[in-house]
Structure 1
Amino acid sequence: MKPIHLIGVLALVLSLAACGSHSNEDGHGHEGTDEHAGAEAPEQGAHGGRLLKQDGYAVELAIAEDGTPPKYQAWLYKGDAPLPATAGTVEVRLTRLGNVAENHRLEPMPDGSLMADSVVGEPHSFDVEVLATVAGARLRWTYPSYEGRTVIAAEVATRSGIKVEPAGPGVIADQHEVQGLLTPIEGRVAEVTARFPGPIRSLRANVGDEVSARQALATIESNLSLSNYTVTAPISGVVTARNASVGGIASADTALFEIADLSQLWVDLHIFGADAQHIRPGVPVTVTRMSDGATVETTLERVLPGTATASQSTVARATIDNSDGLWRPGTAVKARITVERKPAELVVPLSALQTFRDWDVVFVRVGDTYEVRPVELGKRDGERVEILSGLDKGDQVVSEQSYLIKADIEKSGASHDH
């Protein structure tokens, strides 16, 4: 899928606004709001956390991050008066996108707060339920706290070229990117010369003509017999040079024509440094023509024993089929040599990757909702990247136009600074 033009991006933004794309920005740290953008921010307590009030009691809830992995922290109040941590209990129940449940029980700390021992994983985007007892009173609050999340109607996503595919097992290739040149195969180039010297009476082929073996190419008048004889093509191929003209003198020392069989061509690839130690014959090669991006698959046949004098590179050679004549000797190419293919438990396309804050991320879709997922990356090749953590098998990952999801989340203010 080709990237859509700027006008398409503008159209998407307008469509998203019309269909009610939304997400909620945190009030403090990771504490989200339960209203849409522009609504009044939640009340904050003395420690900068969200202040939850009910029946004359209050719980101030925050996510502590300074010097510790993100963990829930709370303070208890009766009215405006602080209470000791032992005066109650707090439990935070989270429901993440896809109905994934997560519980955090907070325990009293020496500093007078309550803190969970469990870490709140990224993204901090969920529906929150807080259950507390304060001085014997049972209290409950619920609110959404979203970040890195947006809603895009299915028809808008389809129109914008947004596609998803499930994260799953795959193969990561150990690949080397190299450059090279197409050359005729040795033994498939022939020079056509006169058997006897004499005037050239006719020429029947021009540069670029395809000729067959034993096809007549020229008529020469022999200086010895004064009779005409025919010069024929020794091989089938393409005339690559003509060094004669009618009325000129042919001699055995000067080629009249050069013919090359270009139905196959060598690809001479230049490999530098230590890469040459890892590349062996028999591995697959993808050759790409630099001029227009056309590709052809082949196999590496040999690594030449010498070193190219000018570049001090090792030359690896493959052969490509050129029966259609579209590849030409002297053409510069690049190639991807696949040395090894290793299975990976979880991979996604490279096109799924984006950055969000200081994370490497992908975007996961559940229904019409899209949400950021920070991921730990492993090995990658030219098409895929291994995911070490942050995704589960089967997660529906945006594989095309992922930058549009990022743009919409950033536009709607669904991110915050840590």
Structure 2
Amino acid sequence: MKASPHLSPLFRLAALAVLAAALAGCGDKPAAPAEAADAAAQEEPGHADDDGHADADGGPEQTTIPAERAKAAGIVSAVAGAGTIVDEHEVQGLLTPIDGRTAQVTARFPGPIRALLANVGDRVRAGQPLASIDSNLSLTTYGVSAPISGVVLSRQARVGGIAAEGQPLFEIGDLSQLWVDLHIFGADTQHITAGVPVTVTRMADGASQTTRLERVLPGTATASQSTVARATVDNSDGLWRPGAAVRARIVVASAPAAIVVPLTALQTMDGRDVVFVRKGDTYQARPVTLGARDARQVAVSAGLQAGEEVVVEQSYTVKADIGKAGAGHEH
């Protein structure tokens, strides 16, 4: 039987529907939302791995060091804050008794010495008897007393000896204060003036005392061709000894800075100056811009905020740990 020509459009529509369904079944399945998020995270530049070390795209360089391991390694942190950058000069000098605070004890009349009542190093008070001498003139015995309080620096007589008139028997010094004569060379003499602070350090044990320069002497020391700057140190404990060599730092100028860190905090990574900021057990390399510095510390003008905790000892150990983390990341 011949098909009706009015049914052919319906057949054509049905065929088109079947074809569309077939094409949809053969296409790619859409990615699930979670899978799409994972893929995006893997492609995101600068993504840090689990050990905290940045990848090659440039995130922060950091490492994790547990507190016990940090303590064992000697890693010490301190809070960054304001400070003062000083222009200072390192010099050396000698301790000497102050002129006018030493006295000679002499015999008034000639005659044999019957007794000497003090030895070198003894502390004596003004008026204390030091010797007795038989006078050849009066044929009596007279006593010799200390004219000042102080320490016996020398004794130039012996019992049984004959003392001449005016002969020195003892030298006594008041050493409760001492001069420190500092030797300054070359161009430094143009910058160092009276009144500036100076910190004097004993070479024997490293003890220090801060005082001020009293004067710069007008002459030049013949032997060393140096200029002598003089200060006074307190010696009430008797541990500063005349004739001993000392070191000193003379502060010529100073300037305040909003943030300073010790020079021991600085390291260089990839050609940049960095410090290591500590947050808990995490140590992050922080690039910084530096300002003026002195012998112990440097001003930080950018890259660090006051109150942040910075590694100030064993910073190179933290740098090495970050380097090891980076090497492991590359492999």
Query: Which category describes the TM-score, using the shorter chain as reference length?
Result: 0.7 to 0.9
Deviation at 1:209? 0.4
Aligned residues: 288
**Residue in structure 1 matched with residue 96 of structure 2 by the alignment:** 183
**Residue in structure 1 matched with residue 148 of structure 2 by the alignment:** 235
**Conserved in 2, the CA contact under 8 Å of 1:167 and 1:397?**
yes
Tell whether 2:240 aligns with 1:327. Answer: yes
Offset from partner CA, 1:277-297 (integer Å, 9 cap, x none): 222222211100112211111
The letter of the residue matching 2:218 is P
User: Quick one: distance in 1 between partners of 2:273 and 2:246?
Assistant: 32
Root-mean-square deviation over aligned CA pairs? 3.0
Moved more, 317-326 or 250-259: 250-259
The 3-state SS of whatever aligns with 1:256 is strand
- 4+ residue runs over 6 A deviation: none
**Residue in structure 2 matched with residue 403 of structure 1 by the alignment:** 316
The letter of the residue matching 2:206 is G
**Residue in structure 1 matched with residue 169 of structure 2 by the alignment:** 256
User: Quick one: distance in 1 between partners of 2:132 and 2:295?
Assistant: 55
TM-score for the superposition, normalised by structure 2? 0.78
CA distance 1:95–1:321, change in 2 (3 Å): farther
CA distance 1:414–1:226, change in 2 (3 Å): farther
Tell whether 2:180 aligns with 1:300. Answer: no
Deviation at 1:382? 3.5
User: Quick one: distance in 1 between partners of 2:225 and 2:135?
Assistant: 50
**Conserved in 1, the CA contact under 8 Å of 2:95 and 2:178?**
yes
- 1:355-394 map, 5 Å: 355-356=268-269, 358-394=271-307
Tell whether 2:114 aligns with 1:218. Answer: no
Deviation at 1:378? 2.6
Deviation at 1:264? 0.2
**Conserved in 2, the CA contact under 8 Å of 1:199 and 1:250?**
yes
User: Quick one: distance in 2 between partners of 1:187 and 1:244?
Assistant: 23
**Conserved in 1, the CA contact under 8 Å of 2:47 and 2:55?**
yes
**Residue in structure 2 matched with residue 268 of structure 1 by the alignment:** 181
Deviation at 1:310? 1.6
Tell whether 2:102 aligns with 1:193. Answer: no
- 1:152-191 map, 5 Å: 152-191=65-104
| Structure 1: gaps spanning 5 or more residues | 1-53, 56-90, 97-124, 129-143
Moved more, 370-379 or 276-285: 370-379
CA distance 1:95–1:239, change in 2 (3 Å): farther
The 3-state SS of whatever aligns with 2:305 is coil
Moved more, 265-274 or 202-211: 265-274
> Higher Cα Rg: structure 1 or 2?
2
User: Quick one: distance in 2 between partners of 1:184 and 1:416?
Assistant: 66
The letter of the residue matching 2:91 is V
The letter of the residue matching 1:225 is S
User: Quick one: distance in 2 between partners of 1:252 and 1:414?
Assistant: 88
**Conserved in 2, the CA contact under 8 Å of 1:193 and 1:251?**
no
Which residue, out of 263, 267, 280, partners 1:350?
Answer: 263
Higher normalized helix content (fraction of residues): 2
Moved more, 276-285 or 356-365: 356-365
**Conserved in 2, the CA contact under 8 Å of 1:147 and 1:415?**
no
- 1:89-104 map, 5 Å: 94=46
Which residue, out of 291, 313, 318, partners 2:204?
Answer: 291
**Residue in structure 2 matched with residue 8 of structure 1 by the alignment:** none
**Conserved in 1, the CA contact under 8 Å of 2:185 and 2:227?**
yes
Higher normalized strand content (fraction of residues): 1
The letter of the residue matching 1:397 is V
Moved more, 239-248 or 344-353: 344-353
User: Quick one: distance in 2 between partners of 1:254 and 1:298?
Assistant: 38
User: Quick one: distance in 2 between partners of 1:170 and 1:307?
Assistant: 36
Relative contact order, higher structure (CA 8 A, sep 6+):
2
Q: Identity of counterpart residues, as a percentage?
A: 65
**Residue in structure 1 matched with residue 6 of structure 2 by the alignment:** none
**Conserved in 2, the CA contact under 8 Å of 1:409 and 1:415?**
no
Deviation at 1:240? 0.7
**Residue in structure 2 matched with residue 32 of structure 1 by the alignment:** none
The letter of the residue matching 1:409 is I
| Structure 2: gaps spanning 5 or more residues | 1-34, 37-42
Offset from partner CA, 1:331-352 (integer Å, 9 cap, x none): 1001011122201132112231
Deviation at 1:415? 9.6
TM-score for the superposition, normalised by structure 1? 0.63
